[in-house]
Structure 1
Amino acid sequence: MTSKKYQLLAGLSCLVASTGFAQVSPSHPYTAPHPVYGTFSVTDSNYYNSKQLAQHNEFMVGNYDYPAKPKDMWEIGIKGGSFSIPFADVDARFGRSFGFGGHIRKSLGHVMSLRLEYVYGVAQGLNWRPSTGYTAEGTNTPWAGYGGDQVYYNYKTKAQDLSLQALFNLGNIRFYKNQTGATIYALAGVGVNTYRTSVNALNGNSAYNFPGAQGTYDNRKDQLDALKDLLDDSYESQATIDPSKKWTKTFAGYITPSATVGAGIAFRLSSRVNLAIEDRLIFNGSDMLDGVRFDESRTLSPDKDVFNYLSLGLNFNLGSSAKRVEPLYWLNPLNYAYGELRRVPEIILPDADGDGVTDQFDQEQTPAGCPVDTHGVSRDTDGDGVPDCKDKELITPTYCQPVDADGVGKCPCPEGCAPAQSDCAASLGALPSIHFAANSNKLSDDAAATLATVASKLKANPNCKVVVVGYCAATKRQQQLSWDHVNKVISHLVEKEGVSSDRFIFSSGQEGGDCDAVDIRAAAPGEDGPNTIAPPHPNLRKN
Structure 2
Amino acid sequence: MKKLILSTLMAGALALGANAQSEFDKWSLEVNGGFNKPMAPLTPGYLSPTLNLGHVDFGVRYMFNEKFGMKLDYGFGSFKQADGNGSMSPDFDTKYNRLNLQGVANIGRIMNFESFSRSFGMLLHGGAGIGMVNPQMNTYSDFNDDVYTLIFGVTPQLKLSNNIALVGDISTVLNGRQDVAFDGASLITPASNNGYYGTNGVMWTGTLGLNFYLGKSEEHADWFIAADKYATKEELASQINGIKDMLKDSDGDGVPDYLDKEANTPSGARVNSSGVTLDSDGDGTPDHMDKCVFMPGPASTNGCPVEEVKEEVDYLKKAINDGYVNVYYAFDSSKPLAYSISAANYVANFLKRNPGVSVEVKGYADELGPEDYNIKLSERRAKAVYDILIAAGVDASRISYKGYGEDTSVDKSSADARQMARRASFEVK
TM-score, with length taken from structure 1 = 0.36
TM-score, with length taken from structure 2 = 0.45
